Amino acid sequence: MDTHIIDEVVEQLKVMPQHLQWQVLEFVRALAKTEVRGTPGQKLLQFAGSIPADDLQLMREAIEQDCEQLDVDSLVTTLPHNNPVILDR
């Protein structure tokens, strides 16, 4: 464990107002409860090359046409305490 990181976090907490300290504490508690999900990449290597090249090209084209567009007006993110924040352009 890197105690330098812990020391730096403690120093930053010392200068924060109490309400922000509580938010940090809640965030850390939530992180501690987070479980790692998914399949390790090493186990997925057996599938490398199994998608036909034609299908990959179709996927690539669909991504380029539809997925690279961002509707900033509808972009919303949620911060701790479920406070929605609208991101401006």
38-64: per-residue pLDDT in tens? 898 899 999 999 999 999 999 998 888
Tokens of 5: 């990181």
10-28 pLDDT, tens digit each: 999 999 999 999 999 999 9
Closest listed residue to residue 19, CA positions, set 87, 88, 86, 83: 83
Q: Is 51 helix (H, G, I), strand (E, B) or coil?
A: coil
